[in-house]
Chain A
């Protein structure tokens, strides 16, 4: 069964047989194949062997395939976090005027999306304290990579070194290395201590060749970094930029990046607005006003229309690839605009107090769960004597791998981060299952 009159071919091409014939006639060819100016030697006369399905059959088949995934309660984090996404977000973002539109190259007819993106930028400005936020990068890792490129462009003296903490996720580090290799930068790690930056190690690594120092708050191990301002000072003493990795929920509670000397803030903003999505994200990117002409990605600004009314438009496009080509600040074209819309709606839904409350729950839920796991004989949690946000590492006297797989058998997923270490993440989406999780943990950790 197909909708409409297209009983053959693409279900989304509306042509009837008569219409096709009349159009071919108007164009002046006998059949459509005559329009394909392809030499015989490279013509494809085979088949892909891809069977056509009705909508119903496609859907059923995909439901079945994705249904093969086990239904686990995830206590997983480490760079990908889920919070409950209000229904409003789905329903508004799925309005087709938003979902099916293109980049806002004709601003007069796309004021709605431009305003939503302007509001997104404004929310990030409030959250970071930095003056400029772009309208999105792909994810945390690519935003981090772009920040290193920004640093190498804006730094007054030359240099090639990007310093990152040794706790940096391997995926993030790999993306950073891939982006920075072409421009001739090298990535080096400094030591961390008890989950956080080891200031002595960082100080030793600093020299005038460093263009950027990167740290995260909260860290990959869920700890809250206590010496951000010192890290910023160490970077600035050597004229390097200080880049801070974080997310909008953490930003609602933790020290403002501007107050600790951050020059760039990157991270994944899809902690609000998207479910886990198998790692799909939204690259947060904010920086200081002085760097605005070196910013990667799109910027929405305010202007006036012919009636002197306020109007929104993409601006500073001369930095972008479609104008500047090989001298562009970035190659990004298609970004994550729709995810930014979702995140903006989610932030607006929570409001100031809602967002702060959600962030505070990330602290208390993790504290409470760590305490309950710590009560289990053979488990010490958290292993780092630090404040935590959403997640923490627990030491298990028994080897971690069987604990993780036993938990999975019982319907729960946690990270294995060492021979005797697991990492556990708790937010509003799994807090309802904490009781059962603790009981099972006690069984499997014995």
Chain B
């Protein structure tokens, strides 16, 4: 499959679709009933008609690639089809009430929150859920605050100063741990790509607050020794944290709570197909074991007889979002889970795993670690994985995640998800295989069919131009 992306440019020069400021800038003098000293003098923003704007943004959309444009097998990011009806549900007037409304006037919202808390608890095997964290990393940070509160309540707050993170973990894990004020202890992986139990035993101790783990891990491998891992961490007095990035691989087959995890976050924009929106909003609800429920962010929602009410957990950490998190994303999550039910969730996971295994069997790049679940990490071998990615764009597919995890050289971390049919997987494999056979020169000059040719990212960092105000300089 070949692909040519839209590209809009002016005849007069080589600029792409002009910036709004290049179309029509208009400075106005600010006049107000307020005293002059309280107001600004002027404001200069573009001033265009609605039809002009409709075209501008439509053109920009045509210069952008989404999951509805084609395959998007970004490992660990779990890009899957976003059902359209969930957008309509989130746009219902009842979804968009003010957060300070009285309990009695928002029983529908509270019922939905309660229902989603319950759905997520069942899916994760957790005892209590908070919907508040506005993203996966925010969920991690919230989990860390909850763990800290737990240790402090046990009189071990000062002693437990370390969080252990595998070297293959997402960068958000160590960043969230550092934000929580913890020292990060990086745990090297064993030769089979999994947690090295000896290394873990050596790393845990009286100062361990938390061990953060993704399962299946970022190589797509299930941590088979998970019960032993849980024992090692718990025996040392630490807690076990589940990074929900790969939950799509386990739906209906294993639950973090059953594996011994004490805290987890759900990336609802991954597992439950709420749109990624070009980088967000997502949402990162967290689930915890019952011993930790009293520390969850406030408020949570409970049902008392026929009425839903907000309540503050007894020893709550307070808040991690000014109001209630990314509510509209949570509405979409609820709609998605309700649409699929047990049967659909379990099937999604089964087909995601089947697709990853099928695609891996069809590509010629080496896949050093197997068996795997919903994603696999191939090695580009002698080729530069970043170049491979750029060349794949010419074949009409978004490339895999590249150069990570570092445990595989020139990594191509691939996750087709359940939404692709066999024909598309075959096309994906053909793209991989065509690129594998190409020479370095072809790869280095790719892409050629996209809106922009290869972009000099280093120059963007050297010569910083971060607003249109800097372009005349």
Among the 9-residue stretches A151-159, A236-244, A275-283, the one with 4 or more Cβ atoms under 8 Å from chain B is: A275-283
Q: Are B108 and A138 in contact (CB under 8 A)?
A: no
A-chain residues with CB within 8 Å of residue B222 when the two chains form the complex: 36-38
CA–CA, A72 and B107, complex, Å: 13
A-chain residues with CB within 8 Å of residue B27 when the two chains form the complex: 352
A12 CB contact (under 8 Å) in B32, B54, B81: B81
B354 CB contact (under 8 Å) in A23, A127, A131: A23
Tell whether B171 is near chain A: CB-to-CB under 8 Å: yes
A254 CB contact (under 8 Å) in B40, B224, B341: B40
B178 CB contact (under 8 Å) in A70, A175, A226, A327: A327
Q: Are B354 and A32 in contact (CB under 8 A)?
A: yes
Tell whether A321 is near chain B: CB-to-CB under 8 Å: yes
Q: Are B122 and A58 in contact (CB under 8 A)?
A: no
Tell whether B347 is near chain A: CB-to-CB under 8 Å: yes
19 sample A-B contacts, Cβ–Cβ < 8 Å, listed by A number: A10-B351, A12-B419, A23-B355, A36-B253, A55-B83, A58-B338, A95-B58, A97-B61, A97-B68, A102-B276, A106-B393, A178-B145, A277-B95, A302-B470, A304-B459, A305-B453, A337-B277, A348-B45, A408-B102
Q: Are A276 and B280 in contact (CB under 8 A)?
A: no
Would A94 and B176 be within 8 Å (CB), given that A55-B339, A116-B60 are in contact? no
Among the 9-residue stretches B17-25, B197-205, B231-239, the one with 4 or more Cβ atoms under 8 Å from chain A is: B17-25
Tell whether B206 is near chain A: CB-to-CB under 8 Å: no
Q: Are B95 and A278 in contact (CB under 8 A)?
A: yes
Q: Are A12 and B80 in contact (CB under 8 A)?
A: yes
Please name the residue on chain B nearest to A23 by beta carbon: B358
Q: Which chain B residues in 439-465 approach chain A with CB under 8 Å?
A: 445, 447, 450-457, 459-461, 464-465
Would A321 and B44 be within 8 Å (CB), given that A37-B371, A115-B60, A279-B323 are in contact? no
Would A24 and B319 be within 8 Å (CB), given that A92-B57, A279-B327 are in contact? no
A-chain residues with CB within 8 Å of residue B181 when the two chains form the complex: 181-184
Q: Are B97 and A102 in contact (CB under 8 A)?
A: no
Tell whether A112 is near chain B: CB-to-CB under 8 Å: yes
Q: Which of B34, B62, B63, B227 counts the most A-chain CB atoms under 10 A from its CB? A: B34
Q: Which of A101, A139, A359, A360 counts the most B-chain CB atoms under 10 A from its CB? A: A101
Q: A108-B450, A184-B181 are in contact. List 8 more A-B contacts (CB 8 A).
A: A42-B226, A65-B108, A88-B50, A111-B64, A116-B57, A178-B318, A316-B461, A352-B26
Q: Which chain B residues in 205-260 approach chain A with CB under 8 Å?
A: 221-222, 224, 226-227, 250, 252-255, 258-259
Please name the residue on chain A nearest to B282 by beta carbon: A334
Tell whether B128 is near chain A: CB-to-CB under 8 Å: no
Tell whether A83 is near chain B: CB-to-CB under 8 Å: no
Q: Are A63 and B64 in contact (CB under 8 A)?
A: no
CA–CA, A44 and B125, complex, Å: 9
A-chain residues with CB within 8 Å of residue B310 when the two chains form the complex: none
Q: Are A9 and B105 in contact (CB under 8 A)?
A: no
Q: Which of A68, A138, A341 counts the most B-chain CB atoms under 10 A from its CB? A: A138
Would A387 and B344 be within 8 Å (CB), given that A136-B280, A326-B174 are in contact? no
Q: Are A12 and B418 in contact (CB under 8 A)?
A: yes
B-chain residues with CB within 8 Å of residue A11 when the two chains form the complex: 83, 339-340, 344
CA–CA, A71 and B95, complex, Å: 11
Tell whether A438 is near chain B: CB-to-CB under 8 Å: no
Would A98 and B106 be within 8 Å (CB), given that A12-B273, A14-B420, A278-B99 are in contact? no
Please name the residue on chain B nearest to A342 by beta carbon: B277
Q: Are B79 and A102 in contact (CB under 8 A)?
A: yes
A-chain residues with CB within 8 Å of residue B343 when the two chains form the complex: 8-9, 52
Contact count band on A: 35 or more
- Rounded to whole Å, the gap between the CB of B452 and the closest CB of chain A is 4
A58 CB contact (under 8 Å) in B45, B177, B335, B353: B335
Q: Which of A71, A88, A309, A387 counts the most B-chain CB atoms under 10 A from its CB? A: A309
Among the 9-residue stretches A118-126, A199-207, A377-385, A392-400, the one with 4 or more Cβ atoms under 8 Å from chain B is: A118-126
CA–CA, A446 and B343, complex, Å: 58
Q: Closest 3 CB pairs between A and B?
A: A279-B323, A9-B347, A182-B181
- Rounded to whole Å, the gap between the CB of B459 and the closest CB of chain A is 5
A-chain residues with CB within 8 Å of residue B39 when the two chains form the complex: 253-255
A318-342 CB mask vs B (1 if < 8 Å, else 0) is 1011111111101111111111010
Q: Are A69 and B17 in contact (CB under 8 A)?
A: no
- Rounded to whole Å, the gap between the CB of B56 and the closest CB of chain A is 8
Q: Are B459 and A281 in contact (CB under 8 A)?
A: no
Q: Which chain A residues in 6-59 approach chain B with CB under 8 Å?
A: 8-15, 19-20, 22-24, 26-29, 32-33, 35-39, 41-44, 47-55, 58-59
Q: Which chain B residues in 75-127 approach chain A with CB under 8 Å?
A: 77, 79-83, 85, 87-89, 91-102, 104-109, 111-112, 115, 119, 122-123, 125
A-chain residues with CB within 8 Å of residue B350 when the two chains form the complex: 9, 32-33
- Rounded to whole Å, the gap between the CB of B226 and the closest CB of chain A is 6
Tell whether B436 is near chain A: CB-to-CB under 8 Å: no
Q: Are A132 and B466 in contact (CB under 8 A)?
A: yes
A-chain residues with CB within 8 Å of residue B31 when the two chains form the complex: 356, 360
A341 CB contact (under 8 Å) in B180, B278, B322: B278
A-chain residues with CB within 8 Å of residue B20 when the two chains form the complex: 119, 348
Q: Are B85 and A171 in contact (CB under 8 A)?
A: no
Tell whether B378 is near chain A: CB-to-CB under 8 Å: no
Q: Are B85 and A59 in contact (CB under 8 A)?
A: yes
